[in-house]
Homo-oligomer: A and B are copies of this chain.
Amino acid sequence: MTYCAGILVQDGLVMIADTRTNAGLDDVSTFRKLHVFSTPGERTFGLMTAGNLSVTQSVVSLLHEGLANPETGEMDTLLNATTMFRAAQLVGRAIRAVREMDGDAMKEAGVKFDVSMLFGGQIKGQPMRLFMVYGAGNFIECGMDAPFLQIGEHKYGKPILDRAVTYKTHLYDALKVGLISMDSTMRSNLGVGLPIDLIVLRRDVAEPELNRRIEAGEPYFHDLRERWSAALRAAHTAIPRPPYAPPTG
């Protein structure tokens, strides 16, 4: 399983991904799902992937190598895309190219071609954007009303994002709430686990302000988990019991 969240607020973009993969419960590994593509000072993109690992790795490899453009004869890459929209289209094209290569054989083998991606970032002088790209290569864009997108095991961690994140949220509060969302997911689903990879892109900076891996035992994340647990315990304890009980209850 996988959990990735991208949060796009006024001051920038946070991308957070776990690293656990599993082929069944008895084959659990650690793989990077957050990939950074950058020409420092000019553009930085983050790409987070969920779904079949052979597909997502092939997509990432293709994006590094570039896809031949039949019209120009040139190689299209993320680093020469002229806009974020065209870069997102290229991610979609890469997914379709992998489906063309492997899709039929996977289907025959009974393996689902199942993949989704979050792709975000900024080209200098252009808007910062965040997209969710589906397995058919089509995509949607994150807006200001619900300034986050999620892929993978997204439901456990959605309530806190729904409640706590708005477009005006401070960039590092967005990171904090994203880590709480990741914590909720890890607690309820063993398929999502440490370490956690994250990047923070400040708007109009065009290189990562932060590019970090949180390993087990990292003091801040450990403290966040403890505090969040204690606060939830205090929160539900402080709510009075339902007054519906009969007198003997």
Contacts and interface: CB of A to CB of B under 8 A. Distances in A.
Interface of A: 153, 155-156, 158-160, 162-164, 170-173, 175-177, 179-180, 184, 187-188, 200, 202, 209-210, 212, 220, 224, 227-229, 231-236, 238-239, 241-246, 249
Nearest to A158: B188
29 contacts: A153-B155, A155-B155, A155-B156, A159-B159, A159-B184, A159-B187, A162-B188, A163-B229, A163-B232, A164-B233, A164-B236, A172-B242, A172-B245, A172-B249, A175-B242, A175-B244, A176-B239, A179-B242, A200-B244, A209-B245, A209-B246, A210-B246, A212-B244, A220-B242, A227-B239, A231-B231, A231-B235, A232-B235, A234-B235
Given A158-B188, A236-B177, A243 B220 contact: yes
Nearest to A205: B248
Contacts of A209: 245-246, 249
Given A210-B244, A242-B175, A160 B227 contact: no
Contacts of A155: 153, 155-156, 188
A202 B232 CA distance: 27
Contacts of A241: 170, 172-173, 175-176
A227 to B, nearest CB: 5
A187 B162 contact: yes
